[in-house]
Structure 1
Amino acid sequence: MHHYGKELKITDIVQQQPIVVNLLASSCLPCRRLMPVLEQAARRYSDVTFVSLN
């Protein structure tokens, strides 16, 4: 689920499951390197909600 550029309330996505919140800057090289790792983890762990905020 992607909500690019839209307001999102945490209560919209919380469904009694763990959440990983990643705060990043698109200009940050380590942050950009982490994105594929988090995307892979999101595919692997469907019982966890992953949220990235830029």
Structure 2
Amino acid sequence: PENALPADVRRNVAAIGRWIFATSSRLREEGHGDLDTLIDVNAAIREGLKAKT
């Protein structure tokens, strides 16, 4: 089945996913870094998904 979300929303979600993956990979490789932004973005996504259920 086709995804019912509008194309721009799908693109934005994909872009956020790429950013999360790249940031997580960089932090893992460096072994240190500020996780606050990554945590905040993931928390915002979680809260947004909870609001839709």
TM range (shorter): 0.3 to 0.5
Normalized per residue, the structure richer in helix is: 2
* Greater relative contact order structure (CA < 8 Å, 6+ sep): 1
Normalized per residue, the structure richer in strand is: 1
For normalisation by structure 2, the TM-score amounts to 0.38
Give the structure with higher Rg (CA): 2
